[in-house]
């Protein structure tokens, strides 16, 4: 697959220097392998990989990309993402560990976009706050979770978000009430209005510490019993079709264990496509297409990907 990496970078040295004006050397990486930054462990190199630490740096990166007409992708923990084997011809801005602060104030938690949901759930548990247990095992960041209204086990982000701090496409920082975020099933206004999530306030309530711990333990056990957590994946591969469960449709179509190259439909949970070893993005893409085609042929149901795609396929 060597030929995949021969494509020319779109980013010139003088453009990289613009970022060096306000970012430290260890915040800038060139030709960074995206396989190291996705839970699928798949993906070719990004031309430029930036790791901001402050809101001001995020604003400046976005401003430079707009002024220089550079493609920009916002990355969190890479837990819902399939990156092309060819990589990404543009700038990836990772809002994750360098931008992951949280503070607990009475029954509220304020956290920046790069904070892991597991960290927020642990902080809530330690403060005897209930309402966030559902998110403890979701392997993403707060920013990504707000963007797609992440949910599990009967809970969704829309149930607990009181305000969201965003950077608008015009470069303005705004606080948007949760009720105005347009939260729906795996959606919000973030993508539609080209917003960048900087952080959010989460509103919880006092609960019994032991009950909170027990709920989190129970959900973690259910996850590990039913989901193929021992393999790299991007979580649920397809959205839930109305009136159905994607995993059951795939299983009933006889596709448990179906494999293309290193990509495989998990026998443990057919809603997950896993990297069974050495899978490429092309393998995953072809497998997903096969699954969609076979399920549609049998049930007339169109499966829509929940996984996001980055780069050329």
* Residue 25 DSSP one-character state: G
Catalytic residue status for 306: yes
Catalytic residue status for 266: no
Pairwise CA distance, residues 58 & 90, whole Å? 16
Which of 7, 53, 68, 306 is the catalytic position?
Answer: 306
Tokens read off for 226: 């039913």
Which of 29, 41, 110, 186 is the catalytic position?
Answer: 186
User: Which residues neighbour 180 within 8 Å (Cβ) at sequence distance 6 or greater?
Assistant: 189
* CA-to-CA separations, 102 to 121, 204, 221, 280, in angstroms, rounded: 11, 14, 26, 36
Which of 84, 118, 233, 236 is the catalytic position?
Answer: 236
9 burial (CB, 10 Å; 0-12 / 13-18 / 19+) is: middle
Catalytic residue status for 286: no
Region of 253 please: left (phi>0), alpha (psi -120 to 50) or beta. alpha
Pairwise CA distance, residues 18 & 264, whole Å? 43
Residue (of 197, 268, 184, 281) closest to 231 by Cα position:
268
Looking at the chain, the number of H-run helices and the number of E-run strands are 8, 19
- The SS3 of residue 163 is strand
Just list the catalytic residues.
186, 236, 306
């Amino acid at each position: 697959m060597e030929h995949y990496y021969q494509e020319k970078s779109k980013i010139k040295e003088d453009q990289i220097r613009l970022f060096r004006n306000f970012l430290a050397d260890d915040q800038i990486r060139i030709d960074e392998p995206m396989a190291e930054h996705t839970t699928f462990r798949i993906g070719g190199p990004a031309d430029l990989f930036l790791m901001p630490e402050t809101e001001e740096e995020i604003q400046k990166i976005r401003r430079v990309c707009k002024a220089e007409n550079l493609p920009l992708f916002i990355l969190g923990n890479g837990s819902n993402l399939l990156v092309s084997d060819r990589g990404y011809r543009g700038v990836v801005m990772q809002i994750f560990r360098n931008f992951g602060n949280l503070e607990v104030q009475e029954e509220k938690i304020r956290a920046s976009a790069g904070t892991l949901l597991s960290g927020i759930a642990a902080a809530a548990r330690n403060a005897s706050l209930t309402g966030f247990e559902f998110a403890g095992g979701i392997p993403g960041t707060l920013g990504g979770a707000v963007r797609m209204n992440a949910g599990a086990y009967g809970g969704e982000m829309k149930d607990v978000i009181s305000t969201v701090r965003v950077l608008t496409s015009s470069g303005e920082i705004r606080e948007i009430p949760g009720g105005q975020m347009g939260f729906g099933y795996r959606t919000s206004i973030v993508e539609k209005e080209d917003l960048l999530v900087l952080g959010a306030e989460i509103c919880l309530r006092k609960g019994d510490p032991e009950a909170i711990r027990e709920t989190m333990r129970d959900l973690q056990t259910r996850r590990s019993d039913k989901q193929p957590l021992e393999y790299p994946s991007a979580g649920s591969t397809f959205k839930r079709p109305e009136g159905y469960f994607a995993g059951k449709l795939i299983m009933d179509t006889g596709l448990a264990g179906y494999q293309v190259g290193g990509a495989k439909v998990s026998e443990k949970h057919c809603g997950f496509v896993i990297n069974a070893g050495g899978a490429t993005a092309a393998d995953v893409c072809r497998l997903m297409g096969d699954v969609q085609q076979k399920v549609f042929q049998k049930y007339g149901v169109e499966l829509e990907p929940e996984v996001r795609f980055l780069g050329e396929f």
